[in-house]
């Protein structure tokens, strides 16, 4: 029996893709959001269907409110009422010191990682909240241990955006817990995804290994396991939790 519709923003790659596939194994139908790579999103959707669940790939830039609205409307039209949301869409921006950052670079990171995430959560709450006639649901936000490490010399703007995600998760969780919605976050550490190369630092994960207590980089599937646990009944008393998946970092 289906657990209902799960929307995964940034679901075509990395942690988002791993989450969509892992969620399907637990019985979730999945709307796989992507910004540009339709082929990658289609591959993820195919794997969701192979697990016996329904899937749809939906293009949308999570920087744009109109695209976020369309994502939710299309997903619900295709797969029914939304029961879960994972906000995986995000960017580190280019790695640089703060003194060399442009205002536009700062805005791009904050727009996607903070404003886009908050708008996505807003749309989920509108639909899930028992106050609004919904049946409740789960939201899992993607934070980062960068929020407490600070990202010096590389990603201070990214770290600041993830600090905002932590604060937003705590506030929203306390706001809607009585309305049947559990809001939590996962904070990955150094994970083996293409995000490092996209930031212009392809060797960043490997170079960080000596600073990781477990002495290895994490895999997207390891983060996905925790996200899907937070979506399930095993975490039924978790609200406002922020769980590190960072190898002890």
Neighbours of 1 (CB within 10 A): 4
Residue 199 pLDDT > 60: no
Whole-number pLDDT of residue 198? 64
pLDDT at 42: 98
- Mean pLDDT value of segment 39-61: 98
State both tokens at 44.
Answer: 């993820």
- Specify the pLDDT at position 196: 59
Strand order, beta sheet including 55-59: 55-59, 28-34, 4-9, 82-87, 137-142, 181-188, 242-245
Model confidence at 179, in pLDDT bands (50, 70, 90)?
A: very high
What are the pLDDT digits (tens) for 96-138?
999 999 999 999 999 999 999 999 999 999 999 999 999 999 9
pTM value is 0.95
**34 part of the active site:** no
By the 8 A CB rule, do 184 and 168 touch?
no
Mean pLDDT for the chain?
A: 95
- Tell me how far CA of residue 88 lies from CA of 101, 132, 192, 214, in angstroms: 24, 25, 15, 24
Please spell the DSSP secondary structure of 59-117, one letter per residue. Answer: E--TT-HHHHHHHHHHHHHHH-SEEEEEE----------GGG--HHHHHHHHIIIIIIH
Read off the pLDDT of residues 201-245 as tens digits, 9 standing for 90 and up.
667 677 778 888 999 999 999 999 999 999 999 999 999 999 999
CB 20 within 8 A of CB 85: no
Q: Find, among 120, 105, 110, 106, the residue nearest to 65 by Cα.
A: 120
Average confidence (pLDDT) over 79-92: 98
Task: Judge whether residue 12 has pLDDT over 60.
Answer: yes
pLDDT above 70 (res 67): yes
- Domains in the chain, please, with CATH? 4-245 (3.40.50.720)
* Token pair of 15 as six digits: 């942690």
**Catalytic residue from among 72, 158, 168, 229:** 158
* Portion of the chain with pLDDT greater than 90, in percent: 90
Q: What are phi and psi of 15, to 5 degrees?
A: -65, -35
60, 35 contact by CB (below 8 A): yes
* 127-141, 161-175, 187-201, 220-234, range with the lowest pLDDT: 187-201
Look at residues 2, 1, 3 and name the one whose alpha carbon lies nearest to residue 231: 3
């Amino acid at each position: 029996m289906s657990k209902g519709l799960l929307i995964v923003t940034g679901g075509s790659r990395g942690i988002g893709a791993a989450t969509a596939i892992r969620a399907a194994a637990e019985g979730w139908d999945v709307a796989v959001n992507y910004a540009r790579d339709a082929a990658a999103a289609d591959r993820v959707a195919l794997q969701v269907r192979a697990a016996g669940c329904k899937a749809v790939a939906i293009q949308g830039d999570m920087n744009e409110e109109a695209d976020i609205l369309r994502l939710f409307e299309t997903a619900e039209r295709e797969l029914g009422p939304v029961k879960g949301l994972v906000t995986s869409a995000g960017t580190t921006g280019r790695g640089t010191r703060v003194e060399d950052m442009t205002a536009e670079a700062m805005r791009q990171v904050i727009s996607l990682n903070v404003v886009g995430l908050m708008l996505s959560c807003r749309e989920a709450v509108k639909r899930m909240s028992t106050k609004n006639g919904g049946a409740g649901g789960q939201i899992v936000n993607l934070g980062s241990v960068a929020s407490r490490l600070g990202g010096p010399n590389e990603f201070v703007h990214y770290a600041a955006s993830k600090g905002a995600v932590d604060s937003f998760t705590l506030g929203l969780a306390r706001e809607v817990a009585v309305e049947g919605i559990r809001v939590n976050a996962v904070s990955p550490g150094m994970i083996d995804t293409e995000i490092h190369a996209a930031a212009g630092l392809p060797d960043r994960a490997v170079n960080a290994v000596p600073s990781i207590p477990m002495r290895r980089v994490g895999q997207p599937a390891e983060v996905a396991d925790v996200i899907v646990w937070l979506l399930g009944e095993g975490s039924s008393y978790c609200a406002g939790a922020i769980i590190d998946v960072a190898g002890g970092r």
